[in-house]
Structures are given as structure tokens and as C-alpha cells.
Structure 1
Amino acid sequence: MKSSGYAVFSLVACCIPAGAMAQGANEELRSGNEAIVVTATRQPLLIERVPGSVLLLDETALEQAEGATGAEDLAELLPGVEAAVANGTQVAFQIRGIGAVDHQALTPTAAAVYADGVFQATNVQTSALLYDLERVEVLKGPQGALYGRNASAGAVNLISRRPDAEGANYARLGYGNFDRVDLDAAFGGRIGEGAYARLATTYVRRSPVLENVAGPAEAGGETDEFGIRLSTLLDRGGPSLLLRGHYEQDRGINTMPRNSSLELGKHQIESAGDGVQDSDNAFYGVSAEYTAPLGDWELFSLTAFEGYRQNYGFDFDGTAAPFGDPSLNANLSYARDFAQFSEEARLSRQFTGGSEMLGVAASLEDFSQRYTIWCGELDPQTLVGSCDYVGAPGRVGPTPASTSPASTLVTDIAQERVSLAAFTYNTLELTERLTLTAGLRLTYEDIRGQGEGVHVFRDGVRALNNRDGLGPAIGGNVIETTRLSGNVALSYAFGGANAYVSIANGYKSGGFNGEIANNALHYADEGLFAAETVTTIEAGVKGKTATLRYSLAGFYSDYQDPQARIFVEFALPDGSSIVSNSLSNLDEARSYGVEAQLGWTPVSGLDLELGGVWNRARIRQDSAIGGNADLYDGQPLPFAPEFSANARVAYQARVSREVRLGLSGSANFRSRFYLDPSGLPERSQGDVLTLASRASLAFERSGIEISIWGRNLTNRDYAVSGYGFIGYNTFRSDPRTFGGSVSITL
């Protein structure tokens, strides 16, 4: 992430809009009052008036977290929000413990991610879009009415700066340790009567941040990213049209994981380097946002295309020679292509005592992937490794197609998804103080997947996998579902506060497992994972005074059929075993807790923020899964620390009439959390405390600002995701990073 930050103001609760209050929000802004308005409710609304949970990072806050590198850094700034960085690059947000920690890209995370209103349908798209942001809005709790499918945990909205007459032009050049060089720039303004444009770009390069003790340095991960976004706005006081186009590329090298059997120092890994591969990732998209008045109604339409191609990989086993045996080495690569067309149209109006919204949404997704796993150096023509992958012989089946050893596994899968939805969202002022909000959404999905799993023998012969003799690993299936979801809330305004109670539900789609296909069951109903559903009851109060902003909320979530990556050992022909894994469903889980957020401005220029969450999230498992029920029953949900807290202090003062000093610092604490649903201590991460800070001098006459920054100042080495294979492997956090920059506002 090229810019991120800590919430200048955060509130907690599940988001339910009250469009009838939008006029009051605009009136307060016009009066010059310092109001905080959010738009993730689909209409502008004072954050204190939202009868649910909203966390906000505004533009000023984003600047104060200079040096952040990806969407995962958002989790350090948002209480109750965690981010698992699967495969070192794929960000899966967990909110209140809800959401599968998964590294496949066939399905998105349970916390839906939107960029400028466009749904990011896979977990590999997020980091590429985080530059020239205006704000980030996070909604906690199921968002089944406004956001529909795959928002069972909440929604994360990334909002870039719109073109306008002011321009807000800037350029920034930075340098940091690990040879980090980054450049950000944006230029825009009026280009004609009622016409505006904005061009934003970013570039960052960084050497490896982890030390490889057994091979090439680049196994520690290299960063080489570029992005550009062009936006144009036509707005002459009636209908308006906003066009956006973006392109980002990643040409770095993926970091390697660390195997739990190794005894290594902080931020060290051990890789022989044969899994090191140059990444070739490109993300692109265009969108057209149209608004127009229609009598008492307003029409909104968002038409978009998003796509990417992705080629990357890494050392899968996380060690140069597992258990001292180089033949156990494993490397993998992903080759993915994705395209999504989407349309959302809404009609909304406000009337005396309420508001109403009617909408439809449609999307078409096309995804394909080749997953390859091998040992040693890979011949790109024959797909045979220089040694034999230990897991290949177990997939051969009862009648091998060759007398040569099985060497490599290749799985191809293609998936198409059609999603259609109709929704409504309405508010009604029952009394002057009491407001009812109710929303409903009907969603239809058709998911079609097909693929095959192949093993390659050393002589180049290829054959379909047939583990346990259950039939060749080729086939397809169709998942067709219709879901009804929604929410309802009552809110009561008194003084400067707002109390509310809400109930909301949502779901995350089921789907296909996109990695190693062992046999025919992979594409049969037994190999699919089902949809998960979440119903949350929440009550809270929030408000503000002249210097104080506060919120307190309690929540209870009933989590049915939680999707989880299950790790199961299976025997190899030589009598040993390795761990196979797939996305499956647990029986149920419960998540409940209390959240609090406090913001205080005791004097002008000094802001203090404190947020805390106590959350108990536990699995309830009666049936056997992966041959074991007791292993999961009563265990914590992954990435759900029982206690988390963050704090921030920001101070601004004038050194002279034209020079302004800025100082800020933040801290984030998470108690022990587990990396998968097994609840095993060796698959957990202990308490984590991270600190970040920034200092700046702004010379207002020239528009120049000089800053220095530091992140992870405690130099904490902690796991950001994990998986079982030969032992247990974890991807690691960045070490202490620091740097400085010079920027100019034009």
C-alpha cells in the first residue's frame, strides 16, 4: 500500500444506512461544523447517525502511516479487523473472527472489498489499488442487503480521490532501508466547462526484507510495483458521468515461507532457491459511474470491468531440505486469468419522514488457473522437475500409466459465475427521535466449474490423478443457489448521542476447490464447499461532544457452516505421510464480544485515539471432518484474537508563521491468535505489539514537506498466515522499516 493510515475517527457497529438523515449531514457540513460523513451507506450520512458499525480512515490519517506496503497494513489501524496474508500476497480480511483464511482465488473473502464501488471478486486484487486514496470506510457485521453475496463479515470500501476543480496536485519521492525507493504523484483539475480530470501514479521498489540463510537473497522477497489511474468527471449541475481506468503491475519476487522445523533467527528463512520465480502480475479495469435526477428520485448506475493475469510462485515446503532430505523439496506456481463484468443500478429518494432505495445488480466472472507443484528445477516444456515431488506417487492410482517415477502435479480449473440481485433499503422516522431501517436482498448465483488433475512421470507421460482408485480427477459441476438476506435496525437519538439495536444476516458463496485434484470426487458434490451464513445481533451507543467522540457496542454472531481450510494427513506409498488441504465447512461457530472507541481532542492540534475489542469466537463441531471432530470443537476461529487494541496520538503545531510541525505515533496490540481452525499451539501466533511513527515539517509557502517514518519499530517477527504440508509453514511479517520523503504540493 502506497498510503495508509490510522483512523482520525473510528466508530463501531454494523452498518445500516438511514438515507433520510443525509440532508442533515449536508446541512451540518454547510454550517461549518466539523462533521464526519461516510458514503459506504450508499448515501452521505453523519457517522454518528449510522445505527451500526463504521470505521473510517480519512485522507489525513492515511498520510500519517507513510511506509505501509499493502492492504494488510489496514488491519493495524482498525480495531476488530485482522488480515491474513496468504501465499505472501493475497489479503483476506477477518472481521470479528468471521471469514475463512484461504489462499485460493476462486472465491473472495467474507469481508467484501470494494474499490470505488466496484466489487473485487478475488483476494489477489486488493493491494494493487491502494494509492491516491481519499478515505477507507469499513463496515462491520453482515452486509447482506446493500452488499449482498460474500459480505458475511462486513465490507471494506477503498475510495480514491475524485477529479475536481481544486486538483490537489502533488509529487513525492521517498527512500528507506532495504533500498526502498518510492514515487507517488497526482495531477488534475478543470479541463473545460463542467469537466475535470485526474491522473495518479505510483511506483515502489524494495530489496528483500527477509534474510535467506541457505540460498539466494531474492528468496526473501523483492518488490517492484507500478500503478496508474486516470479519472474524468463531467458534471454541469444535472446528470454527471465519472469515468475511471486503472492499470497496475507487479514484477517482484514472492517471499518464501518458513518451516516450523527450522531454528532460525528473527526475519530469517531457509530456501535453496529453486522455487524462486519472477512475478508477472497485471491488474486492470475501467468503470463508468452515472448519476441523474429523475423527478423526486435519483438514478445511480455503475458499469465496470475488472481483470488480471497472474504468474508467480515460491518454495512451498519452506526449507532447503525438509528433515535433511532434499527429495522432499516442493515448489509451486500459479498461472491465473480473471475477468469480471458488473452492473449496479439504484433509484433512491427522500421524503418527509423517511427514504427508500430500489436496486438491481448483476455480474459475470470468468476465472482460470493452472496450479503446478514439483521438486527441484522445473523443465518448462515437459513439466518434469529435477527431483520427484514427494506427493505425486500418492495420486497415481491402481494402474500407473508409466513405469517411471511420478514427478510433478498439475491441476487446471476454470470457473464461471453469474450473479443477479434485486434489493431495497428503506428508512422510516417512527417519531422525531426513533428511526426504523429495513433492507432486503434477493440474490441468484450460478457457478460452473470444470477441471482436471494430472501427474507427470519422469519420462514425460501424463495421466489423470486417481488417488485411492476412486476415479480419474476430471469433471465439472454446477452450483445454483437463491438466497434472501437483509437487516433491520431501530435507532434512537438523544442529545448528542444515538442508541441503536440491529439484526443483520449475510452469506458467503460456496464453490470449488482450485488446487490439487486427487480423484473424481474433487468435482463431485463431495469435493465442493457449501455457502456459509452469519446472523448478527448488535446494540450500541455513540456520539460526540465538542472535544470527545465515543462509541460502545456489543455483538453476538451465529456463524453457520463456516468455511475453513482443513489440513488432513494422508499416507504416501513409502509409508510416510504429508498434509493435504482443501476448503471445507465446519458445523457452526459463535462470535460475541464488546467494542469501544474513544477519540479526544483536548486542545487544538492534538488528537488522541483509543480503540479496544474483546471477542470470543469459538467453533462448535459435532460431526467428523477430515477424520476428526474433536480436533476442532471448542477451538478459536482463525485470526480471531480474544483481545485487540490500538492507540494513536497526532500532534500538529507551528514552528513559525510558515512552517508546520507534525508528529504522530500509533500502537497495535493483538493477543494470541490461531492460524487455522485446529487450535494447535504450534499453529498459533503469540501476542503481537507493533509501533509506528512519523514526523514531518511542512513549508507552506513553497508547498514542500519533509518527513521521516518508521514501522514495526519493535522489530517483531510474527506469522501473517500459515499452512500444513511437511511440518507447518508460515509467511512472516516485515522487519523494522524506516525511511524519509520529500513531497511538494503544486
Structure 2
Amino acid sequence: MRISTFRRACLASASLAFCAVPAVAQTGSDVEDTVRKLETVAVTATRREESTLDIPASVTVLAGEIAEEASTLDGAEGVTQYLTGVEAAVANGSQVAFQIRGIGAVDHQALTPTAAAIYSDGVFLSTNVQTSLFLYDLARAEVLKGPQGTLYGRNVSSGAINFISTRPGQDQEGYIRASYGNFNRIDLSGAGGAALTDRLSYRIAGRYLSQDPALDNVQTDPAIPRGPDAAGGKRDEFGLRGQLLYEAPGGSTLLLRAHYEEDNGINTTPRNDSLSVGDHEISSEGLGLKDTDNEFYGLALEGETEIGAWSLYSLSALEGYGQDYGFDFDGTPAPFGNPNLNANLSYDRSFLQLSQEVRAAREFDRARVLVGGHLAFEDFSQDYLIWCGQLDPQTLAGTCPYVGTAGRVGPDPVSPLTAVSLLTHIGQERTTAALFTYNDFDLSDRLTLTLGARYTYEDIEGSGYGQHIFTDGTRGLNNRDGLGGAVGQNELEENKFTGNAALRYALSPDTSIYASVANGYKSGGFNGEVQNNATSWQDEGLFGAETVTSYEVGFKTARGNFAFNAAAFYQDYDAPQARIFVSFDLPDGSQITSNSLSNLDEAESYGVEADTRWSPLEGLDLTASVTWLETEIEQTSNTAGNAALFDGNPLPFAPELSATLGIRQEWQLADNRRAAIQANAKAKSEYYLDAEGLDARRQDGYATVDASATLYLDTRGLEISLWGRNLTDEDVAISGYGFIGYNTFRSDPRQYGIAAKLSF
């Protein structure tokens, strides 16, 4: 069988299961030429364009048909359907923590970035609020597994994911797509552009998505009327991106990019484990429901030029967001059977991030050298409110006492009235500076040595307070256990040296083996949740940085219509960050769970992964991938008063086995008419939702299937598709937290619909 250059380019990807493209025949001797064109694949995982065969690390590229499918996902977390060894915990609607090879704190506070650094068009997204990107007009996504402390800096202890938009150009394609599905799902998207001059071009892309509640809000307490349907979550989002590209004589380019997105839906209510409900059901009285008012925005200027033998690159960026949303925190209409013990939560946040990165690269006879620098400044502010019953918007007092308030009043209350609500404010400023270098040295025609290093300096300043609010609106500082008022400030300074070293040996032009060692770290910081007392701002109330050192050997090959990649890895995980849930007594003798981000002693992660792609017949693409993963926490110190609670447990969101299987079959029906079916399945074994390893916080293994059938009318540029997601209708926990009982956010049920796309 003869295959196109682009398909062969996809076969060069380190995980080719995910680069589906239509079958296109070649003629003549083009096939022989195609083999060496592997080296021109535009993969920028190492900050320069090269084939993934030449990268001594695990790199997965989602491109082609899969990138197009990803552009219709609800959020960036959906790409894990195509990946093994990569999972995502989703909380509070838009906060996503990615885990790669088991590494990554499962945390719901916005100040916590994920251990897998998320980039959008090369711009680092600093908080987990930003990581659930609203995807549209996606060209590809590059997934790097293992620590990436050289080129990607902080918060890359598990890896990095870069989502890359389609760029403007002199000759570019445009499209309009409309889709309708169950739950009254309306998904509209489009992109297009043109050349304004022979040097200047633009591209505009946008998307609108709305969907009615996907989970059923049912009655579980006859004494309380069934809550509103909206507790099952509503989507109402849109995004717009504009790009302007100038291509100067001599190859220099300047790209200006701006984006704006809004989320105006309603966050889904979690499910409390004390409830007796069916699949895809929750139960809430609805008092905590609040219309979401989230906005995300950004502006970036990217430039490339040549000065002598050096290639220079600059990326200046601004990213920010504002958030105002809430939900039913306890996930039940009547905790302990008492509706006066419910809890509702809301956040009011703002964030601004400025960054500048410059790089210089040069090729010598037997070496490729890159040096660079990075500067960033971040400003974060958050008000976090918990209340019970109806909320007075002026005083912020609820109509019943929130169960955790009384225990935080302390020995000297400022009012004789009842404390009913908790308000926590935190502000944080972070300054980061880094210098780095990444270099390849050809020791022979077949053997290449890679060496990289990065020095990072961080200064983190935090301040805030925790208050309890009485029925008349009077406020006092929290003082749980009489340890002093919850107000203060602190500063963290961190200096980290990270790097990597690797050897790659080319067995042939299309096959290589490698061995590598790399490390990375994830920053420490301040807990952004309830401030209990003065210790919250003392050093012992903070969490420290975590580090990961990885050792990996791998094999990569892409020959003709077949590609195969495999890697074995061992990761030494020091001071893992984990959300610790601790029960404490209330004045009435009952208990409530408090939680904060802390550091465990250490952990390890090791395993084997492999993926393959095979096109045995014209128009048929088969893909498969598998990851076997073992993780274990090693805890000897008495964190949270019970070392045995964590020691020997697996890391959260780290299934021992995960596998994908994909198929795409395309038929030529007539000269200008084609049809295709495509299906992708992912199965995973059981995993735990947090580090405590309790059976009640375990998600059983399951499998999900996404599929589509498409008719292509090539003469008109029209595609008509039937699509389905989660066709197995699995109801699974996508994250969880301890509070009054244990609460989990749930996956959407089976979705299906029809779509039409017009390309021009």
C-alpha cells in the first residue's frame, strides 16, 4: 500500500494511535522519498521542529482527524480518551488536574497548578482553573510524558501538554460546523482567514456551546421538595480567537494573537456518598446554585527571525481570568438528615499573568544549541465563602449555621450571636525567572548526546484572612483551637536546578533507541481554602515543592504502514503534594472533615508503555496503546496524625492498566464522495480518588467508547456526521473530596447527535 506524505508524517509521532488522516494514494517513487521526510515533521516539543523519532523521550502527538475531534470536546481534559498513562481529575466545573504516569496532585484549589504543565500556543497556564481549555480550531496537541524541567520550567514534575491552534497563512482553509445532540446540545464553530497582502494574513476562529442539564436531580428526602433541574449542570460558553501574521522577507515572522472566552452556565452539583441514587443522578435542594460568570482572556506577540547563524524567538504574553460561581458543597439536601446542616460554596476570583520568553538557537556541524530565558509575574486574588440556607448578599450571613463555623469562632467571640458563615480571602503574587539551555551533540553518525539544564528562581508572596460571620453580619477572625486570629502573610523563595541527559542511537533511518534521565519540580505555596487560625500563615501551614527524577529507556520505529513505540520508566517522587483530609470534632460532638494541601514523604512510579499504528489496507487505520503502571506512597513521618493511613497506598488517578483501541475505515463511494467510520475506546482498571486509599474512595475499572460515521461530499466541501460519546453510558467519579461524608463530581451520560461541516 502507498501512503501520503502527511500520513507518514503522522507515523513519525511517538504515539501514532492519534494522528488519523484520510487514506490518499501516492504514485511513482514518492514512497521512497517519504521515508526521509519524517525528519521534517513539525513537532515543537523540544522548541524546534524535528521528528519525534529524533527526540529521546516519550512524545505523543494528537493531530489530523483526532485534533479535529478534540476541537469539539467540552474541555481539554477530554483528550485523555486518546491517551494511556494520562488521566484528569475535574472539579468545580473548570478546574482540571492532569496526572501523567501517576504523578500529579489531585487538588481543587485554584492556586494549585497541575504537575503536568499546560501550555496554550506556547504560553504557560499557571493555575488549574485555566487548564480546562475551551478547545476550538486546534491544529494539534503535543503530550510529553515524564519530567520536563529543562525547556518547560516549573510545574512539570509529570510532563507537559501543549495545545496548538491553527495558524493563519497565505493559503489557509476555513470551515463552519454545526452540531445538535441530546440534552439539547448546540455546538457551533467556525474558522477562516485570508491574505491581506503577500506578507500579511489573518485568521479568526470561534465556538459556541450550550447544553441542558445532563445529570438528573432527584428527590431523596421526602421532607424537602426536589431541587431544580439546573443542579445537574448547564453549559453556556463561547470563545473567540483572532490572529494576525506578518511574514517579512528573509523568513522573519511576527504573530499577534488574542482570545476571549466566557462561561455562563451552572456548575454541576457533586454527589454525596450517603445518598441512594442511580447512575447519572444527584440530589440537591438547590440553595447553593449560582449562575457562573467566568471570563478568560489573553494577548500574545510571537516573533522569529535570523541574525547571522542564530535563530531568535520571542514570546510576550498576557493571560488572565475572572470567576464568580458557586454550588451545593455538601451534595445532599439534608446532611445527617438535618437540612440545617447543609453547606453552599462560592468563589470570586481574579488572576493576571504576564510572561516573556526568549530563545536563541544555532546549528553547528555536529551540534544543535539552544539557550533561553523566561520571566513571569502573577497576581491572584480570591474570596471563598461557605454558608447554610439562604444567603443575605449584603451581610453574607446564611439563614442557618454552616456546620464548620462554630468550631472556628475560638475562645473570645466578638458577638454573642450565632456564627453562620465563613469567608476566606487570599492574595498571592509570584515572580519567576529562569535561564535554560538544551543541546544535542552528534558523537557519531548514529549516536547523539542530549544535555539540558535550567535554573529557576521563584518569589511567592501571600497574604489573607479567615473570618466567621454572625447572623447580624458582624465578623470575627477565625481562631480554631485558640491558636490566634487567622490573618497574616508570608513569603516563599525557591531556587531550583533541573535538567536532563539522554543518549539516542539510530539503528536505521527509521528506528532508534534511547536512554534518558530527567527531573522536574512543582512549586510550593499557600493554601487557598479556609484559614483556620494564625498557623495558616506560618511556615508549617504552607506546602513545599515536590520533585520527580525519571529514568527511561525507549524504542521507536516507523516503517512503511507500521509504527511502534515502547518505553520503560522509573520515577522517584520526592515530597509529593497531596490533599489531606482530616476529621476534627465539632462542639456538638459530631465531626467534619477539614482539608489542605500538604507534602507526603515520597513515592515511586514505574511501568511500561507501548503504542502502535498499522494501516493494513487502503483506507483502514488501526491503533492501539497500553500502559502498565505501578505506584506506591512511602510514608514514615506522621503526616496528619496517621502515617499508616498513606503508607503503601497507590497514588490517586493512577490505574494499573490503561489501554486504547482505535479504528478508522474510509471508503471511496464515487469520484467525489467518501464515507468513513471511526471509533476509539479506552479502558482502565480501578483507581483511587485521593491518597488515603480507602475503598469508599475508589473508582472501579471501566471502558468508554466514542464513535462517529461521516459522509464526505468533496465537490461541495460538505461533511455530515453522526457522533456519539461515552456510548457505554458509564457513570464514574471524575474527582472527589471529603467534607460531610465524601462527595464526587460525576461524568456525563451517553451523548449523541448529528453534525454538518462546510469547508472552504
1:262-661 equivalences under 5 Å are: 262-495=275-508, 496-661=510-675
Aligned partner of residue 103 in structure 1, secondary structure: coil
* 2:107 equivalent to 1:85: no
Q: Which residue does the alignment assign to 2:132?
A: 127
Worse-matched range after superposition: 549-558 or 36-45: 36-45
Cα deviation 1:94-142 (Å, max 9, x = unaligned): 0000010011111310000000000001111133441100000000000
Q: Secondary structure of the equivalent of 2:266? A: coil
**More displaced stretch, 665-674 vs 229-238:** 229-238
- 1:584 Cα shift? 0.2
Aligned residue number for residue 3 of structure 2: none
Letter in 1 for 2:284: S
8 Å CA contact 2:114–2:155 kept in 1: the answer is yes
Which one-letter code corresponds to 2:91 in the other structure?
A
Picking from 212, 237, 261, the partner of 1:225 is 237
The answer for the alignment partner of 2:755 in structure 1 is: 741
Deviation by residue 1:319-351 (Cα, 9 ceiling, x = unmatched): 000121111100000110000000000000111
Using the alignment, how far apart are the partners of 1:256 and 1:90 within structure 2? 14
Cα shift at 1:30 = 10
The answer to whether the 8 A contact 1:536-1:557 is kept is yes
d(CA) in 1 for partners of 2:125 and 2:134?
A: 10
* 8 Å Cα contact 1:67-1:709 kept in structure 2: no
Q: Determine the C-alpha separation between the residues in 2 that align with 1:425 and 1:703.
A: 44
Query: Contact (CA 8 Å) 2:711, 2:719: kept in 1 or not?
Result: yes
1:190 and 2:195 matched: yes
Q: CA deviation at 1:723?
A: 0.3
Compute the TM-score of the two structures, normalised by the length of structure 1: 0.96
Q: By how many angstroms is 1:36 displaced?
A: 4.4
Question: Which residue number corresponds to residue 45 of structure 1?
Answer: 50
Q: Is the 8 A contact 2:93 2:268 kept in 1?
A: yes
Q: CA–CA distance in 2 between the matches of 1:654 and 1:65?
A: 25
The question of whether the paired residues in 1 share the 8 Å contact of 2:357 and 2:373 is answered with yes
Partner residue, 2:77? 72
Output one character per residue of 1:626-684: Cα deviation in whole Å (capped at 9) or x when no partner.
11100000001000001100110011111111111111001001100100000001001
Partner of 1:17: none
The equivalences for 1:76-155 within 5 A come to 76-155=81-160
Maintained 8 Å contact 1:67/1:738: no
Asked if 1 retains the 8 angstrom alpha-carbon contact of 2:346 and 2:385, the reply is yes
Say if 1:12 and 1:140, in contact at 8 Å, map to a contact too.
no
Q: Which residue, out of 717, 720, 744, partners 2:731?
A: 717
C-alpha separation between the residues in 2 aligned to 1:717 and 1:8?
34
Hey, what's the Cα distance between the residues in 2 that align with 1:28 and 1:331? Answer: 63
User: In 1, Cα distance between the equivalents of 2:588 and 2:260?
Assistant: 49
**Alpha-carbon contact 1:389-1:407 (below 8 Å) kept:** yes
Secondary structure of 1:526's partner?
helix
Whether the 8 Å contact between 1:719 and 1:732 is mirrored in structure 2 is yes
Matched residue type, 2:168 = P
The answer to whether residue 273 in structure 2 is matched with residue 260 in structure 1 is yes
SS of residue paired to 2:705:
strand
Once the two structures are TM-superposed, the CA of residue 32 in structure 1 deviates from its matched residue by: 6.0
* Aligned counterparts of 1:247 and 1:9: Cα–Cα separation in 2: 34
Distance in 1 (CA, whole Å) between partners of 2:305 and 2:35 is 23
RMSD of aligned alpha carbons: 1.5
> After superposition, what is the alpha-carbon deviation per residue over 1:464-522, rounded to whole angstroms, capped at 9, x for unaligned?
00000000000000000111000000000012311000000000000000010000000
Q: Describe the shift of the 1:462–1:201 C-alpha distance in structure 2 as closer, same or farther (beyond 3 A).
A: same
Structure 1 pair 255/637, CA: closer, same or farther in 2 (3 Å)? same
Counterpart of 2:26? none
Going from structure 1 to structure 2, the CA distance change for 1:269 and 1:261 (only over 3 Å counts) comes to same
Q: For the residues of structure 2 that align with 1:32 and 1:478, how far apart are their CA atoms? A: 51
Matching residue's letter, 1:219: A
**1:161 maps to 2:166:** yes
Distance 1:264 1:66, change over 3 A: farther
1:625: how far off?
A: 1.0
Determine if contact 1:86/1:103 at 8 Å carries over to the other structure: yes
Distance 1:140 1:33 in 2: 21
Q: Aligned equivalents of 1:738 and 1:36: distance in 2?
A: 34
Aligned to 2:255: 242
Q: What is the letter of the counterpart of residue 441 of structure 1? A: R
Q: Is the 8 A contact 1:530 1:585 kept in 2?
A: yes
Distance 1:12 1:197 in 2: 32
Amino acid in the other structure paired with 2:88: A
Give, in angstroms, the shift of residue 688 of structure 1: 1.5
1:723-734 equivalences under 5 Å are 723-734=737-748
The equivalent position to 1:62 in structure 2, one of 39, 58, 67, is: 67
Q: Bigger shift: 464-473 or 50-59?
A: 50-59
**Offset, 1:59:** 3.1
Instruction: Please give the alpha-carbon distance, in whole angstroms, between the structure 2 residues aligned to 1:734 and 1:640.
Output: 21
1:91 is displaced (CA, Å) by 1.0
Cα distance in 1 for residues equivalent to 2:39 and 2:676: 20
For the pair 1:11 / 2:14, whether they are aligned, the reply is yes
| Structure 1 Cα separation of the partners of residues 286 and 322 of structure 2 | 24
Q: d(CA) in 1 for partners of 2:33 and 2:531?
A: 58
Q: SS state of the match for residue 644, structure 2?
A: coil
1:173 aligns to 2:186 (yes or no) = no
Offset of residue 9 of structure 1: 7.4
Aligned 8 A contact 2:564 2:612 in 1: yes
Query: Partners in 2 of 1:673 and 1:381 — Cα distance?
Result: 44
Equivalent in the alignment of 2:19:
none
What residue ranges of structure 1 are gaps of 5+ in the alignment? 1-6, 14-26
Distance in 1 (alpha carbons) for counterparts of 2:228 and 2:12? 44
Instruction: Return closer, same or farther for 1:586/1:596 CA change in 2, 3 Å cut-off.
Output: same
Cα gap change, 1:85/1:530 in structure 2, threshold over 3 Å: closer, same or farther? Answer: same
SS in 1 for 2:48: coil
- Please state how far the C-alpha of 1:62 moved relative to its aligned partner: 2.2
Q: Match for residue 22 of structure 1?
A: none
Residue 38 of structure 1: SS of its match in structure 2? Answer: coil
Note closer, same or farther for the CA distance 1:430–1:28 as it changes in structure 2 (3 Å cut).
Answer: farther
Query: Is the CA contact 2:362–2:368 (under 8 Å) kept in the aligned structure 1?
Result: yes
Indicate if the aligned counterparts of 2:11 and 2:563 stay in contact, CA closer than 8 A: no
The equivalent of 1:20 in structure 2 is none
Moved more, 604-613 or 243-252: 604-613
> Separation in 1 of the partners of 2:380 and 2:112?
10
Relative to structure 1, the CA distance from residue 175 to residue 66 in structure 2 (aligned partners, 3 Å threshold; closer, same or farther) is farther
Identity of aligned residues (%): 55
Q: Does 1:200 align with 2:220?
A: no
Q: What is the SS of the residue equivalent to 2:381? A: strand
Question: Is the 1:28–1:35 Cα contact (8 Å) retained in structure 2?
Answer: no
Contact 1:64/1:694 (8 A) holds in 2 = no
